[in-house]
Amino acid sequence: MIDALYYLTNFCGMHIVQLTFCTPCLKVLGMNGLDSRSALQAVFQIYYIQNETETIKYSKILAHICKEKGLKLKGMEDDVKNADYIMPSPVLTRWWTVGQAVRYILQNIEIFKAVPKYFIYGSTTKKISAAASDLFSLLKEKGIIADLKLINNFCVHYLHPAFQWFQGGDEQLGGTPGFKCRHVFAQYFHLHSILESWRHDGWKSEVNMKSYKDYVEKEGVEEAEGATDKEPTEWLIEEGGLENVEERDFNRILQEEKSNQFFRLSQESLEKHFGRYGNDLVVYSLFGEMQTAKIVAECYLC
């Protein structure tokens, strides 16, 4: 008989997929927080300013910037939204929110680069003024923008499609969201193959990563100035063997190494939490969908 725990495996699928994003974000890109200089900190500061400012006032400021620059504020998708649009709280442990927030910021990056000047001196509180000053500094760094683009591409082409799949339903079982346990085996290997193709500089030849690759190669990146948390950078230098790289190439190569380590840690997290589908549960796929069973049977016979 099949172990009863088999039926519990899929319950935390969304949380496990989220971990494949959280782990590399924190270790490679750095966390947000006081004195932290990271892409996540920039995202949080934008949300903080929005959340701590009266909605009407904030909307008027965004509308003024749009008019001044001849731009239109876009939402998280490609449709145009008005200035009343609210960015979701970018909590790393919540599904969708960080990726949606980053996409929203990148689609309106020139607008958000102009936001701080309206709060640095004109804010009613010192905390908002400090947040605006921090945001102004962060968004000037090409390395921060590169990290935001890395997060965006990862979410758009890997994380969010995985979320959408797990939240979808099996049509043969009534289409109720979440009941896809019998398909998780194939989904695990699908996700694993995506991350595998991105590792070891594989992302450079992927069409889905072209916008990120072009930015890194064309713009280059700048090391964060005034950072108090140097651990992610020092760890990457040692891991990637970058101690003797020429200065003019250092920041670009460091960003490339960050990408490789990001995808490595993501894949290792996937293997750690979904690994049973590639080990002790593989044999059960022989009794599942015909296409999957046929492929697994051929592997067993080889």
Note the pLDDT tens digit of each residue in 134-153: 999 999 988 899 999 999 99
pLDDT at 22 over 70: yes
Q: Does residue 256 sit in the same domain as residue 289?
A: yes
Mean of the pLDDT values across residues 280-289? 66
d(CA 154, CA 124): 37
pLDDT at 115 over 50: yes
pLDDT at 250 over 50: yes
* Amino acid found at 176: T
pLDDT at 180 over 60: yes
Q: For position 13, what pLDDT does the model report? A: 74
Q: Does residue 300 sit in the same domain as residue 153?
A: yes
Measured CA to CA in angstroms, residue 107 lies from 77, 205, 211 at distances of: 9, 24, 13
Q: Which of 96, 122, 140 is the last residue of a domain?
A: 140
74-78, 155-159, 175-179: least confident range: 74-78
Q: Does residue 103 sit in the same domain as residue 226?
A: no
d(CA 266, CA 29): 13
Q: Does residue 177 sit in the same domain as residue 290?
A: yes
Q: For position 297, what pLDDT does the model report? A: 67
Mean of the pLDDT values across residues 18-37? 82
Domain that holds residue 87: 38-140
- Asked whether 90 and 45 are in contact (CB, 8 A), the reply is no
d(CA 55, CA 183): 44
Terminal-to-terminal C-alpha distance of the chain = 26
Q: Does residue 266 sit in the same domain as residue 178?
A: yes
Mean of the pLDDT values across residues 221-236? 50
pLDDT grade, residue 53 (50/70/90)? confident
pLDDT at 15 over 60: yes
pLDDT in tens, 86-111: 788 888 888 888 999 999 999 999 99
Q: Percentage of residues in the chain with pLDDT exceeding 70?
A: 67
- The listed range with the strongest mean pLDDT (18-22, 68-72, 117-121, 183-187) is 18-22
d(CA 237, CA 230): 11
Q: Does residue 133 sit in the same domain as residue 206?
A: no
Q: Does residue 126 sit in the same domain as residue 163?
A: no
Q: Does residue 91 sit in the same domain as residue 177?
A: no
pLDDT grade, residue 279 (50/70/90)? low
Mean of the pLDDT values across residues 68-77? 75
Q: Does residue 287 sit in the same domain as residue 244?
A: yes
Q: Does residue 23 sit in the same domain as residue 66?
A: no
Q: Which of 140, 158, 187 is the last residue of a domain?
A: 140
Q: Does residue 162 sit in the same domain as residue 300?
A: yes
3-state DSSP assignment of residue 200 = coil
Q: Percentage of residues in the chain with pLDDT exceeding 90?
A: 26
Q: Which of 140, 174, 202 is the last residue of a domain?
A: 140
Q: Does residue 95 sit in the same domain as residue 167?
A: no
pTM of the model: 0.80
Q: Give the number of domains in the chain.
A: 2
d(CA 107, CA 90): 16
pLDDT at 262 over 90: yes
pLDDT at 287 over 80: no
* Amino acid found at 57: K
d(CA 88, CA 139): 19
* Amino acid found at 42: A
